Amino acid sequence: PDAAAAEAARARQAQLTKPPGSLGRLEELAAFMAAWQGTDRPKLDRAQALVFAGNHGVCAQGVNPFPQAVTGLMVANFEAGGAAINQLCRVAGAELTVIALDLARPTADFTHAPAMTEAECLAALNRGAAAVDPSADLLILGEMGIGNSTVSAALAHAICGGAPEDWVGRGTGSDAEGVARKREVVARGVARHAGLAPLHLLAAIGGREQAALCGAVLAARAARVPVMLDGYICTAAVAPLHGAAPGLLDHCLVGHLSAEPGHARLCSAMGKAPILDLGMALGEGTGAALALMVMRGALECHNGMATFAEAGISAA
């Protein structure tokens, strides 16, 4: 990040026609964008949204009330423009690309074996990295994958510790019995792969969309493209990067706090403060797309407001 650009952005904020600090988080967002874009006047001409979809062998454990075929049906719905993320990208001004990752070949059931081989994990990482437009001003990330709230809980538990119940919620609609089953599956899976380093946990427990999200985050970092993560699934997907080196996620914001109960704990463990809290738990990048609108507001204020001098107002 460019500390001088961030400092110049903060200096500009102090001159804009408002009491110092009164735009709150919007002022921080402008300085964050300045730091990563390397200019005191950051822009949002091009917002790229990437949604990665994958299928998970752990569904064999009965962790999700929906059949795995729904992942592919929802990908078709994304492509037809009928999902929530399509509407939100349109209104927020993001260009959406959906990438289905070998849906017909789910990962292995992580309670019995590593979910992915190293080669499979690397292939998905590379798919994610290759999808990033290095000229984007901001990258929105989202996902779809039946069963991936269980995968997320297992990743969060393996990386951040605690107990399985700290990380397991209702997902797409599990009842109390389903939640209990998810907890047991998470406990068993994490015990099966205990002791692995964070990036090996990504392969052992994660799925292809988790690996692709990590690849996209790393490619964005290399191109200094700031990233807006979505909710629980997205945050958990990149937890292995945080586990490997927390600074790897310095260019990432969390768009919204999910209604999944583990998300607040995970954000706290990873030092992230979500921008929105709207009781959402849909995934697809929907919370990140909404946060993009807040970011647009932040940059419009930063770049468009008059200074006290321009407005002829003496700052008391």
| Residue 179 in the binding site for a second copy (CB under 8 A) | no
**Of the listed pieces 85-93, 115-123, 134-142, 196-204, which binds a second copy according to CB under 8 A?**
85-93
**Cβ 203 to a second copy shortest distance, Å:** 28
Q: Which residue in the set 38, 43, 87, 162 belongs to the binding site for a second copy (CB under 8 A)?
A: 87
What is the C-alpha separation between 72 and 298, in angstroms, rounded? 36
* Three-class SS state of 258: coil
| Residue 77 in the binding site for a second copy (CB under 8 A) | yes
What is the C-alpha separation between 298 and 27, in angstroms, rounded? 7
Task: Verify whether residue 27 is a known catalytic residue.
Answer: no
| Residue 301 in the binding site for a second copy (CB under 8 A) | yes
Q: Which residue in the set 104, 119, 176, 316 belongs to the binding site for a second copy (CB under 8 A)?
A: 316
Alpha helices in 170-249 (DSSP H): 176-192, 198-205, 208-222, 232-237, 239-244
Among 126, 166, 163, smallest CA distance to 267 is for 166
| Residue 140 in the binding site for a second copy (CB under 8 A) | no
* Sign of the alpha-carbon torsion through 222, 114, 52, 178: negative
| Residue 130 in the binding site for a second copy (CB under 8 A) | no
* Three-class SS state of 23: coil
Residue 106 DSSP class: P
| Residue 119 in the binding site for a second copy (CB under 8 A) | no
What is the C-alpha separation between 22 and 311, in angstroms, rounded? 18
**Of the listed pieces 22-30, 116-124, 154-162, 264-272, which binds a second copy according to CB under 8 A?**
22-30
Cβ–Cβ under 8 Å, residues 182 and 153? yes
Number of residues that bind a second copy (CB under 8 A): 57
Which residues of this protein are in contact with a second copy, per CB under 8 A? Answer: 16-20, 22-26, 65-67, 70, 73-74, 76-77, 80-84, 86-88, 90-92, 172-173, 259, 275-282, 286, 289-290, 293-294, 296-297, 300-301, 304-306, 310-313, 316
Catalytic site positions = 284
